[in-house]
Amino acid sequence: MCDTNGTAVGTLLLENERMRVTEWRFSKRGDNTGWHVHEYDYLVIPMFDGVLGIDLPDGSRIEAKLTNGVPYDRKAGVEHDVVSANDFECAFIEVELLEQPLAR
């Protein structure tokens, strides 16, 4: 996902020619991934009920309310920093899709 110096811990769980799976763990409020841009489309599977802040380059923040086990997907190319807004440890699984979609 990113090559940054955030305080959240990213642990690579699986990587092959089709996908890269990373667990991102935030131990406390304010932990962050660091600024990054995804090279690939990806999906996120939260492992908690709570809120993450998504900081954008223009200085704005989107508040993302997440539900344990309910995935969402995003397209490649958006610069952002993900920040925990929770008073507890939380984590999500990120799956980056390394293959181009099949033409139909």
pLDDT tens per residue, range 42-88: 999 999 999 999 999 999 999 999 999 999 999 999 999 999 999 99
Which residues, in sequence order, are CB contacts of 68 under 8 Å at separation 6+?
Answer: 46, 47, 48, 49
Query: Across all residues in the chain, what is the average pLDDT?
Result: 93
Provide the pLDDT for residue 51: 98
For residue 46, the cross-strand partners are 92
Angle at 57 between CA 51 and CA 63, to 5 degrees: 15
CATH 3.40.50.280 applies to domain 9-97: no
pLDDT tens per residue, range 15-32: 999 999 999 999 999 999
pLDDT exceeds cutoff 70 at 4: no
pLDDT exceeds cutoff 80 at 2: no
Alpha carbon distance 35, 92 (integer Å): 17
DSSP 8-state class, residue 30: T
Domain boundaries, the chain: 9-97
